[in-house]
């Protein structure tokens, strides 16, 4: 299982390390899959924007916008392809029109998203919804969603 938080950790190291975290980036071994992950989340331009491409080392939290940081975290889930990914408000800084495409990318590689969010349109991307604190803090309700595609 991967956890994709609202404010992702950006590891010291190169651009490749950001995608493969917690694994260290090995160019020959990881580049094709890491490149596809970056492309899927709309960040392939980072390879050209940073002077040394995959080997670029910077203080990533200062270089990447909040939305780019969240996309990097999603690229990790695409790279590692766990069975499940806990997505905790992980697209809150991404443009709303890109969120559905990002969720589609996650499910396209076989990852089942478990989403924590307050965004009202996200349920349409899921098959079930678990509501916590229904009627009281200790109560919950699991519902099948009509329009879920996820």
Per-residue pLDDT for 120 more than 80?
Answer: no
Q: Is the pLDDT of residue 64 over 90?
A: yes
User: Among all chains, which residue has been given the structure tokens 């992950």?
Assistant: 37
Tell me which of 77 and 141 has the higher pLDDT: 77
CATH numbers and ranges of domains, the chain: 2-119 (3.40.50.300), 120-150 (no CATH)
Mean pLDDT for the chain overall: 90
pTM: 0.85
pLDDT band at 15 (very low <50, low <70, confident <90, very high): very high
Distance, CA of 145 to CA of 89 (rounded, Å): 20
């Amino acid at each position: 299982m991967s956890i994709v938080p609202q404010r992702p950790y950006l590891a010291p190291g190169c651009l490749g390390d950001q995608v493969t975290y917690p694994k260290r980036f090995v160019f020959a071994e990881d580049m094709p899959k890491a490149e596809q992950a970056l492309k899927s989340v709309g960040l392939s331009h980072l390879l050209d924007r940073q002077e040394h491409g995959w080997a670029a080392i910077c203080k990533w939290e200062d270089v990447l916008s909040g939305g780019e940081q969240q996309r990097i975290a999603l690229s990790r889930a695409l790279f590692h392809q766990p069975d499940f990914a806990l997505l905790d408000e992980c697209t809150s800084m991404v443009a709303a029109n890109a969120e559905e495409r990002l969720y589609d990318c996650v499910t396209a590689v076989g990852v089942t998203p478990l989403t924590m969010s307050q965004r009202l349109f996200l349920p349409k991307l899921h098959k079930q919804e678990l509501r916590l604190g229904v009627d009281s803090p200790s109560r919950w309700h699991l519902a099948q969603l009509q329009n879920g595609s996820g």
